[in-house]
Structure 1
Amino acid sequence: RGAGESKLEYDRRHVRRRIEALEARLAELEKRRGETRRARQKAGAPVVSLVGYTNVGKSSLLNALCGAEVLEADMLFATLDPTARKLTLPSGLSVVAVDTVGFVSRLPHKLVEAFKSTLEEAAYSDVIVKVADAADGERESQLEVTDQVLAGLGCTGIPQLTVYNKCDKPGAVPFAPGVLLTSAKTGRGLPELLAALDAALADRVRPVKLLLPYAKLALAEPMRTRGSVTAEQYQESGVYFEGFVKSTDLHLYLPYLVE
């Protein structure tokens, strides 16, 4: 430190420099997340976001669904940066599954600002999966926190599913029929969750059977990137496709639909 500078003044200057460096790093991360988000939107693949109170097993659930290697840890904020993985639903539709930072009650304002771009991932979703811990006695109040955060992000118009994870844990109470119960550890309930996602996306994508003439094969690209192709066969008059297209793209394929 400089001549005559007290230890306290030196520490304060060091803390200010550290805060400025962290703020610059957060701004860089937010820019990068924005670019990633815009790339996903341009591709047009449906996005499913896993949200919920911290430490309810969202990363474990993403790993179980996608076979992805995402950090899992019994700690607060194990996931600070959104993690996106490809997920294929039972119908054959390919979607992007995003794991987000966990919510907590009374999150300090400055911390909310720091995680804002992470939390905003939910606002760009086609479906939001709210995850709770089935064995946690505070799960309903935690879901209320989740709902409050989602409402603050303007997510009320997005289809939402509530999933009670960790149903294999001791202390998990019985639930009414129809409630989505899952266990990332045992795999229980994962088929039901995948089927529910298919149903939630039913009005946003359309199953199609197409015969595209060779001169129109450029139309296969939006089908691959914004929907999915489940079957492809080259024929004399063109290429036959089965799969899904976004509802907003359906008009492009109307002349080429086959029964």
Structure 2
Amino acid sequence: MVHLEFSGTDFDADRAEFIELARSAGLDVVGVIGGKRDRPDAGTYAGSGKVDEIAVTAKVAGAELIIFNHDLSPSQERNLEKRFECRVINRAGLILDIFARRARSHEGKLQVELARLNHMATRLVRGWSHLERQKGGIGLRGGPGETQLEIDRRLLRGRMDTLKKQLETVKSRRAQNRQGRAKSEIPTVSLVGYTNAGKSTLFNVLTGDAAFASNQLFATLDTTMRKVALPSGETAVLADTVGFIRDLPHDLIAAFRATLEESREAELLVHVIDAGDSERGARIEQVEAVLAEIGADEVPRLQVFNKIDLREGEEARIECDAEGIPQRVFLSARSGEGIDLLRTAIAARLYPDLGDEAIVLPVNAAKLRAQLFQLHCVQSETIDKEGSSHLIVRLPYSRLQRLCREAGIELPPRQDPAVH
């Protein structure tokens, strides 16, 4: 593994994450080589002296693969493979390999395959270097190498077009599901965050699900959606999405765009942060950068600082802004400490005007009465002599107002919103 230091980078943190990525891919790391450079070498990225050092170290260790924690160009990969006489990949290739191993659903496999083909398209020439020579002479323009490359490119383009069409079908299906949730007025809350921050563990605790969760990078890739009950009596759909990471390959972001749209279309993003991570400030910035790239930077945020059980003296709590709106929740998904606080904070963000409302429905408003009972929001009911229903309902005031307006009933204004 090769990790070079350039000015303006956090060498130690990046190196530790690089090694963890390799282990997550199931690789046996036999050596890590570092060094400092002002700028990358155009031909080999590392420079001739460092390349010689890597070649000797790899030969002594019996390495079968050399990974650069950097973005290598196709020509740089070719030059390095000739020098090392073994396979060379860059950071993007390593992440793509991890995604290929972890994808389980049909959609996830389609997305990963498209990303790998995008990555492979610029590196096809390596497989046909023995056919690079072209025949000379009149009427002999082009050679077998050119023909084989064109065939491969055509096959790649055809497969990529097929995958894109299949993913468009998935995108359309997701859009229909979102429309269905919008009609039933069930909001979506999307869990986002740096990989290994504890999203899947938190998802399992909130929903009672058994999604795979492990202390490793990219433990889960496939988006899982489940209903979660809130203390207000309302429900929301919780989505567990793929974790982000520094320098996430653009091919992956493009391929997973259909999945990541769940974050862009959500009513609330719960940004899960590892409270014990010394680099959490940088991690937050990196997650925000990816959210901006997929167009989710305008979606409201609720920050959740997870793993407080690993920090001495840290207590579960909610931190609000000057208007009393929850902004941050400190908890431990593993121990369950602070989970109820998170439910309360989510309810407060999704339903800021939720409260118990008293309404009177005349006899001819039976349809509205049935709707309210179907929503399970009726707290009590009494019938007067005229047959009118006196209800206490727990609903967001704006939603109750709209239901009443559609039924032709005027809802009196709230007398004192503060009591709610």
**What TM-score range do you get, normalising by the shorter chain?**
0.7 to 0.9
Instruction: Name the SS for the 2:271 alignment partner.
Output: strand
Output one character per residue of 1:124-144: Cα deviation in whole Å (capped at 9) or x when no partner. Answer: 222221001223222221111
After TM superposition, the structure 1 = structure 2 runs for residues 82-93 of structure 1, keeping only pairs within 5 Å, are 83-93=224-234
Deviation at 1:71, TM superposition (A): 3.1
CA contact (8 A) 1:135 1:173 kept: no
Closer, same or farther in 2 for the Cα pair 1:208/1:10, shift >3 Å?
A: same
1:46 partnered with 2:195: no
Instruction: Name the SS for the 2:366 alignment partner.
Output: helix
Closer, same or farther in 2 for the Cα pair 1:210/1:192, shift >3 Å?
A: same
Deviation at 1:210, TM superposition (A): 3.5
Output one character per residue of 1:101-134: Cα deviation in whole Å (capped at 9) or x when no partner. Answer: 2222222222111111221222222222100122
**Residue number among 111, 116, 120 corresponding to 2:252 in the alignment:** 111
CA contact (8 A) 1:59 1:70 kept: yes
Q: How many residues align?
A: 252
Identify the residue that residue 410 of structure 2 maps to in structure 1. 255
TM-score by length of 1: 0.78
**Residue identity in the other structure for 2:278:** G
Closer, same or farther in 2 for the Cα pair 1:7/1:208, shift >3 Å?
A: same
Identify the residue that residue 270 of structure 2 maps to in structure 1. 129
**Residue identity in the other structure for 1:218:** K
Deviation at 1:94, TM superposition (A): 1.9
CA contact (8 A) 2:274 2:306 kept: yes
Which ranges in structure 1 are unaligned for 5 or more consecutive residues?
A: none
Deviation at 1:188, TM superposition (A): 0.7
Closer, same or farther in 2 for the Cα pair 1:251/1:26, shift >3 Å?
A: closer
CA contact (8 A) 1:209 1:243 kept: no
Closer, same or farther in 2 for the Cα pair 1:153/1:217, shift >3 Å?
A: farther
Closer, same or farther in 2 for the Cα pair 1:151/1:206, shift >3 Å?
A: farther
**Residue number among 372, 379, 384 corresponding to 1:231 in the alignment:** 379
**Which of 1 and 2 has greater Rg?**
2
Aligned mates of 2:299, 2:148 — CA distance in 1? 53
Closer, same or farther in 2 for the Cα pair 1:204/1:38, shift >3 Å?
A: farther
Aligned mates of 2:355, 2:267 — CA distance in 1? 15
CA RMSD, Structure 1 to Structure 2 (Å): 3.4
After TM superposition, the structure 1 = structure 2 runs for residues 170-249 of structure 1, keeping only pairs within 5 Å, are 172=311, 178=319, 180-203=329-352, 205-220=354-369, 223=372, 229=377, 231=379, 233=381, 235=383, 237-238=388-389, 240-245=391-396, 247-249=398-400
